Amino acid sequence: MRSLPLPVTLAVRLLPVTVLACVGWAWSTGPMADPAGQEHHDAAPQSSSEPENPSSSVAAQTYAEPPAPCGTVSGKTVASLVPGAKAAGKELSATDESVRRGCSWSALEGYDYRWLDVSFEMKASDALAQQAFKSAGEDDKGTAQSGLGDEAWLTTGLTTKDKQETREAVVTVRKGNALVTVTFNGSDFESKGAPSADTIGKGALRAAGDAVAGLGSAGNTDD
């Protein structure tokens, strides 16, 4: 196999760092972030004349915590979408694993580069998750997806930098109080092109299906 030119090699090494930075932004300040203090305001004590009903509060929270993220996407899916990647994946760092957890897979096979990441965020209630999902999608131009969680959408886009194309698909799903985000992208460093929108979109949806199914391992507050 031919050796990659030095600029391309550097680009490949730096690409995961760039994507991880984007993931960190999304978790800390992006649209799916949990604004500091917002939920504290929402959870402010009620007046003594209207005591909170603990049972109704618990019932409104479907999942207690995120699942172990790297185990939610099957090895078969990883091998299909990210050839050459280790099935175990690499867990993304998080400040509070009881609220957010994520995992990524990336590999360069020949001249084809693929990146996949899955993240989970748990809101304090199903209603808050529904509100966050709606807010994040207000300016989004994605398409609604049926049969995936309680509600979901898919967005795809093509970017070009230094004549190199990269196509990316993002699937955002809400199920109960869980927000699941799957990002899948790819580039061909030989042709300077990118996989088709259909290939990347279907791949992201496949991984999202695995991830949503993996929510069952997070534990249900009704159990």
| pLDDT at position 217 | 64
- What is the arithmetic mean of pLDDT over 11-35? 43
Q: What is the pLDDT of residue 223?
A: 43
This prediction has a pTM of 0.73
186/84 Cα distance (integer angstroms)? 14
At 71, the amino acid letter reads: G
Greater confidence (106 vs 49) lies with 106
- pLDDT tens digits, one per residue of 84-101: 999 999 999 988 999 999
Could you tell me the CA-to-CA distances from 208 to 27, 77, 142, 148, 170 in Å, in that order?
18, 10, 15, 8, 9
Domain range summary for the chain, segments of one domain joined by +: 6-32+60-218
**Average pLDDT rounded to a whole number, residues 209-219:** 85
What value does the mean pLDDT of the chain take? 80
pLDDT in the model for residue 142: 85
Check residue 141 and give its pLDDT.
Answer: 73
Q: Are 193 and 165 in contact (CB under 8 A)?
A: yes
CATH topology of domain 6-32+60-218: Protein Transport Mog1p; Chain A (3.40.1000)
Is residue 194's pLDDT more than 50? yes
pLDDT at 170: 97
